[in-house]
Amino acid sequence: MTKYNGWSNYETWDCKLWLDNEPTPYEMISEHIHFLRNCGKNYKKNDIVYKTSQFIKDQLVEPYQPKLKPSMFSDMLSASLREINYYEIATAYYDDLWQWVDDKKTA
């Protein structure tokens, strides 16, 4: 597996970059994580990260995937999208938002 700028691959890095460059996705992801932490279900970090990774994929990426006719280009786009590590992206968002809180609790 080839690393890219500290991420598992180029596709994951690129997806995170685009999500970070728009205020709405960042706010939606932050609110989603905050909701899961405070909804009263006592989710552990791994549960929150998994649910957030599904949220990113299902709500912020896949709905905007263009519908292309079968072609070399549609195959290449589909292959690239399958390489995105949504769990890694969700972990980064969680850690940016809550790791310091979790660290304080265990200290």
pLDDT digits (tens, 9 = 90+) for 34-90: 999 999 899 999 999 999 999 999 999 998 888 999 999 999 999 999 999 999 999
Instruction: Please report the pLDDT score of residue 107 as a whole number.
Output: 59
Q: Which residues contact 13 (CB under 8 A, 6 or more apart)?
A: 4, 5, 6, 7
Q: Which residues pair with 7 in a beta bridge?
A: 4
Q: Give the angle 77-29-97 at the CA atoms, nearest 5°.
A: 125
Any idea where the domains of the chain sit in the sequence? Answer: 10-106
pLDDT digits (tens, 9 = 90+) for 6-39: 999 999 999 999 999 999 999 999 999 999 999 9
